[in-house]
Chains A and B, each alone.
Chain A
Amino acid sequence: DGGITQSPKYLFRKEGQNVTLSCEQNLNHDAMYWYRQDPGQGLRLIYYSQIVNDFQKGDIAEGYSVSREKKESFPLTVTSAQKNPTAFYLCASSPMAGADTEAFFGQGTRLTVV
């Protein structure tokens, strides 16, 4: 079955440690996105990528980094520079970057930093 997979579902880390969240899709989609979701804040865009080896910052990129070495993979690293990393992280993909196509979301990773 085609889809978008995020792992792990729950992640715990100590403060000051970097952590990488996985996002894989087998939909052959060009565009991939990372959003952060906090209670009452909606979905806020962290980074997005239109093609392999290219990505752009979203609204809240500080303290995060990404890579897009393969079309199907778009991992997100939450660095120690992120002041408030505890949140629900959602990865999404779409056939092409742009407004005419729907985004498919993964099930999310809930990150807790203690």
Chain B
Amino acid sequence: QQPVQSPQAVILREGEDAVINCSSSKALYSVHWYRQKHGEAPVFLMILLKGGEQKGHEKISASFNEKKQQSSLYLTASQLSYSGTYFCGTEEGGAGSYQLTFGKGTKLSVIP
């Protein structure tokens, strides 16, 4: 079952912050975040495993609340290069299910 991402699209000015949410109706083992630019392959950002950890990657960080089956991606002080479509991928249940299911994506546009 596809996780639900929100918002579907967001427009930011350079330097502004954004939050992208990902939620599932089922218990999650992990959440992956990827960014895809138009016409290109998705690029890995980070993985979060259950345990409520938060990870950071430059000015992009994410949290995972396994109780709420939710993850959020935080983009701070956005840059033009952040533009693209962000996908969360979720693995349900326990480790070893091997099936990574992606949401429909959030299109982020950063303008000068």
Contact = CB atoms under 8 A, between A and B. Distances in A.
Contacts of A44: 2, 102
Interface residues of A, number: 27
A106 interface: yes
A104 to B, nearest CB: 7
Interface in A37-61: 40-45, 48, 50, 56, 58-59
A103 B102 CA distance: 12
A104 B44 CA distance: 7
B101 A45 contact: yes
Given A100-B30, A102-B44, A43 B102 contact: yes
Nearest to A57: B99
B18 interface: no
A2 interface: no
Interface string B25-60: 000011010100000111110010100000000000
Contacts, number: 67
A76 interface: no
Interface string A14-56: 0000000000000000010101000011111100101000001
A67 interface: no
A45 B99 contact: yes
A100 B101 CA distance: 14
Contacts of A114: none
Contacts of B66: none
A107 B40 contact: yes
Interface string B80-98: 0000000101010001111
A105 interface: yes
Contact of B41 (A99, A101, A102, A108): A108
Contacts of A98: 91, 95-96, 98
13 contacts: A42-B87, A43-B42, A43-B87, A43-B102, A44-B102, A56-B98, A98-B96, A98-B98, A99-B49, A99-B97, A100-B49, A103-B34, A105-B43
Sort A-B residue pairs by CB-CB distance and give the 4 closest, nearest first: A99-B30, A105-B41, A43-B102, A42-B104
Interface of B: 2, 29-30, 32, 34, 40-44, 47, 49, 87, 89, 91, 95-105
